[in-house]
Amino acid sequence: MTAVGIDAIEIRTGKLKLDLANTFAPKKGEDPEKYTKGIGLKHSSFPDVYEDIVTMGANAAKDLMDRTGLVPDDIGRIDVATESAFDNSKPVSTYIAGCLEQVYDGDFHHANKGERKFACLAGTQSIDDAYNWIRAGRNRGRSALVIATDTALYERGDPGEATQGAGAVAMLISEDPNVVELSTDQGYGSADETDFLKPNQQFPSVDGKRSVQVYLARMREALEDYESVAGDTHPDDFEYIPFHTPFPGMVRKAALLGYRHMTRGTDVEDALESEIGRQPREADFDSWDAYEDAIRDYMDDLKETDQYSEWYGHAIEPTIDISSQVGNWYTGSVHIARLSALRSAARKGESLAGKRMLVGSYGSGAQAEIHAETVREGWKDEVSAIDVEDQLDSRYDISYDEYELVHDVHNHDKEVDVEEFTQPDGEFVFTGWGRMNERRYEYIE
């Protein structure tokens, strides 16, 4: 069976950045380390005045097409994953295709376009849709463009404000891919939850503490479901484990839970027995609460062991590097976690082809999905060609007053006139509204 998976990746960060320790923390009267160490973020990315989910998505897609030499006829499908859409009918993919048609000969009139919604999980679901389309033989030799694009903004004063971010990830899904091959083994953990939602409103209603618990519960269910089809997992099976990263502190919790689960009944549990005892077993407890307390105590000890630290440093830490500099990109977050790990491996000269990653996606509301991916021969050239550092380093560092203005500019209920902070250069920009209240875009040379 021909491999199908991610063939090329590009990202586009919002062109502004907010320094959480030095700009945000003092205004909030918080210790900077709450953000840098507790939550795990240095900066958040924000869109400039002329940027939004369409411009970031279209700019990432154009970079991808230019770098890989693709033309519109090579693309048979454009799926956009977002939870920041501004239209309940017309999908963002039509806007993005319209932008791209301004600069390429040819068009996307025979490409199937859509928009996927399941909170932050939708990017992964769009990749699945593309995979299934190719596997079903309906692609006529063409590839799919999946674009995960979001402006993850919270109400001012919401605890989530510290985890904001804005950016897009464009991914090309093809046969015989360069970066990773997707496997058919998947696990799901899904339940009707009220943890984070946007019922016809721009900024989310969030029960932050509960959302953390729901993330962990669904991720654990997904891992159990994954194991029911792929067999028991062991930490040594996977080079990297990229998780959905609303903020790196969340990944610390998910990684610990995953490691405990994966090491249960293994050589790792045996090796740790003399130091921290064996993992608690439910049958040994009179109540679920007592069992959970014992598990929590075990995890507190596990976190301090050398084995865990070493595994975390190798398999998890490299996945959170980009996120710690940009904040939450919602649908794109798990995909920048994968990219972050691969770029770190490329920098260290690791030889990854044929090795596997376990990818844990999550969307509030709530559903987690876990699947394995196998790294392909072309991964290093592909991920090294992406200008991640240039984009991150060239962001304009906003003051707190500027942050307030930027937040207002992107608030759909406010009308404020603010000068742009950066100059557009070879990119799509938002230019205003048309006669039917549609958003309009132009390519600036």
Report the interface residues with ligand CAA, using CB under 6 A. Answer: 31, 33-34, 37-39, 120, 159-160, 162-163, 196, 206, 208-209, 211-212, 215, 244, 246-247, 249-250, 328, 330, 362, 364
Residue pair 269/278 in contact by the 8 Å Cβ criterion: yes
Q: Is the peptide bond before 222 cis (omega within 30 degrees of 0)?
A: no
Q: Give dist(CA 97, CA 190) in Å, integer.
A: 32
Compute the least distance from the CB of residue 346 to ligand CAA, in Å.
Answer: 27
Indicate the residue type of 53.
Answer: I
Cβ contact 228:186 at 8 Å: no
CA distances from 122 to 8, 142, 146, 217, 364 (A): 19, 22, 10, 19, 10
Whole-number minimum distance, CB 309 to ligand CAA, in Å?
16
Amino acid at 125: Q
Residue found under tokens 């499908």: 77
* Residue nearest ligand CAA, Cβ-based: 38
Q: How many whole angstroms separate alpha carbon 152 and alpha carbon 433?
A: 22
Smallest distance from the beta carbon of 253 to ligand CAA, in angstroms?
Answer: 7
The C-alpha R_g of the chain, in whole angstroms, comes to 22
Q: Is residue 4 within 8 Å of residue 174, measured between CB atoms? A: yes
Q: Are 79 and 96 in contact (CB under 8 A)?
A: no
Task: Tell me the closest approach of the beta carbon of residue 251 to ligand CAA, in angstroms.
Answer: 10
Give least dist CB 160 to ligand CAA, A: 3
For residues 187 and 360, which CB has a smaller minimum distance to ligand CAA in the complex?
A: 360
User: C-beta of 243: minimal distance to ligand CAA in Å?
Assistant: 9
Angle between helices 267-276 and 288-303 (to 10 degrees): 90
Of the pair 171, 368, the CB lying nearest ligand CAA is at 368
Nearer Cβ to ligand CAA (256/383) = 256
Distance CA 1, CA 202 (A): 44
- Write out the catalytic residue numbers: 83, 120, 244
> At closest approach, how far in Å is the CB of 366 from ligand CAA?
8
* CB contact at 8 A, 39 and 249: yes
Whether the bond into 168 is cis, omega within 30 of 0: no
Instruction: Give the C-alpha separation, 195 to 274, whole Å.
Output: 39
Distance (Å, whole) CA 281 – CA 291: 7
Residue placing its CB nearer to ligand CAA in the complex, 202 or 422: 202
User: Between helices 122-135 and 333-347, what is the axis angle to 10°?
Assistant: 80
User: Taking a C-beta distance cutoff of 8 angstroms, is the pair 367, 118 a contact?
Assistant: yes
Q: Which residue number, 282 or 301, has a Cβ lying nearer to ligand CAA?
A: 301
- Minimum CB distance to ligand CAA smaller for 240 or for 362: 362
In the complex with ligand CAA, the residue whose CB is nearer, 65 or 122, is 122
